[in-house]
A and B are shown apart, each in its own frame.
Chain A
Amino acid sequence: QKEVEQNSGPLSVPEGAIASLNCTYSDRGSQSFFWYRQYSGKSPELIMSIYSNGDKEDGRFTAQLNKASQYVSLLIRDSQPSDSATYLCAVERAGNKLTFGGGTRVLVKP
């Protein structure tokens, strides 16, 4: 079992719709969780961090964390073509190190 798992996609979403991305992790002791966006050929950009169970909203993005189920999700509301990218889920482990999932490619179609 991989430490951090994501569906590779592509997740195809019509413009204006909601994109829903999921991530599961194996280390039950993890406390810090992150979503990064990575455009092709570029480095990752932090879009959300979440540390406690529940929802966290920031603009069009909502992160959801359920530590009991070891599950993190990201919702992108009113998806725009500029949201087309790979979204990486990252979990912080011992030593303040991040373990990344394989990423989910999102395609927003006009």
Chain B
Amino acid sequence: GAVVSQHPSRVICKSGTSVKIECRSLDFQATTMFWYRQFPKQSLMLMATSNEGSKATYEQGVEKDKFLINHASLTLSTLTVTSAHPEDSSFYICSARVPGLVGYEQFFGPGTRLTVL
């Protein structure tokens, strides 16, 4: 499958600081990437769709001014959690949608575990 990387894998920060997470497609170009959040013992929840060269589209209930998404190139999307608070502590995972043999498939990066103190 397609390879998606994320950096950093783990970050601990103080409340009120901003954290940037990078998502890269390593062996393909991705015009669309997705950002998910997963709280302990819960399933993945889609936060936003990142579109190369245009604004991201956010799911209902996700604050676009808090979770800034930039998709400046075909291989890189970034998620910035601004003024992070303890309730933002979660597992953030990006994915990219690529054509498979029959239809499109989504492959996930390894995730970034954010802990806000």
Contacts and interface: CB of A to CB of B under 8 A. Distances in A.
Interface of A: 31-32, 34, 36, 42-46, 49, 51, 88, 90, 92, 95-103
A103 to B, nearest CB: 5
B49 A95 contact: yes
Interface SS of chain B: helix, strand, loop or mixed? strand
Contacts of B8: none
Given A43-B111, A49-B100, A101-B43, 18 more contacts: A31-B103, A32-B103, A32-B104, A34-B105, A34-B106, A46-B107, A46-B108, A49-B102, A49-B103, A88-B43, A88-B44, A95-B57, A96-B49, A98-B34, A98-B44, A98-B46, A100-B44, A102-B42
Contact of A46 (B34, B46, B105): B105
The size class of the interface chain B forms with chain A is 20 to 34
Contacts of A97: 34, 46, 49
B93 interface: yes
A100 B43 contact: yes
A44 B94 CA distance: 10
A96 B93 contact: no
B50 to A, nearest CB: 12
A46 B97 CA distance: 12
A42 B111 contact: yes
